């Protein structure tokens, strides 16, 4: 029984490795009679016979069509949109919602002349607080004292 099972498995593997032959369909013949008013109509050839043969497909040919997923539609009952009651916009509201135009120090595609204060505000340097380290203050004070002491020694 084991030998039969092994032979069956082995034959299955060997059959999988053998290249498959595509079944050749017989060519199909179609009888065709064109209309008399059709373009290219020939009185000598009133009836035509068309031979229809299935073309062999190249297995290494990339797929012809790309499958695009269609975006999903909205869910059946659309979710309700809640709005607060409409109110008039005041000048202050409009001013608060106004977004200043973007200013860059690197790109100016339209070639506008941009004032320096606008360029500096776009830089973002003024947004940081300038803080001096306590050790730097102590160092500068020590240097000042050392310089004064050196000057006094030179005078003596």
The pLDDT profile of the chain, 156 residues, written as one tens digit per residue, is: 888 999 988 888 777 766 666 677 888 999 988 888 888 788 888 888 899 998 888 888 888 888 777 777 777 887 788 888 888 889 999 898 888 777 777 888 888 888 888 877 777 777 777 788 889 989 999 999 999 999 999 987
How far, in Å, CA of 147 to CA of 154, rounded?
A: 11
Asked whether 50 and 29 are in contact (CB, 8 A), the reply is: yes
Q: In degrees rounded to 5, what are phi and psi of residue 30?
A: -120, 130
Predicted pLDDT at 73: 75
Structure token digits, residue 108: 């100016």
Antiparallel, parallel or unpaired: β 48-52 and 28-32: antiparallel
Q: In degrees rounded to 5, what are phi and psi of residue 33?
A: -120, 110
Structure token digits, residue 48: 């035509």
The 8-class DSSP code of residue 121 comes to H
Q: In degrees rounded to 5, what are phi and psi of residue 10?
A: -65, -45
> Residue 120, CB half-sphere, CA atoms under 13 Å: how many?
5
């Amino acid at each position: 029984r084991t030998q039969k099972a092994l032979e069956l498995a082995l034959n299955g593997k060997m059959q999988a490795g053998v290249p498959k032959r595509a079944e050749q369909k017989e060519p199909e013949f179609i009888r065709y009679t064109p209309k008399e008013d059709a373009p290219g109509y020939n009185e000598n050839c009133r009836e035509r016979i068309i031979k229809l043969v299935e073309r062999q497909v190249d297995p290494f040919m990339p797929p012809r069509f790309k499958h695009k997923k269609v975006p999903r539609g909205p869910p059946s009952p659309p979710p309700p949109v809640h709005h607060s009651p409409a109110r008039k916009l005041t000048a202050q509201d409009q001013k608060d919602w106004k977004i200043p135009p973007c200013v860059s120090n690197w790109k100016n595609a339209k070639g506008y002349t941009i004032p320096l204060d606008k360029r500096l505000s776009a830089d973002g340097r003024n947004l940081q607080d300038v803080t001096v380290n306590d050790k730097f203050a102590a160092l500068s004070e020590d240097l000042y004292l050392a310089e004064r002491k050196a000057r006094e020694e030179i005078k003596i």
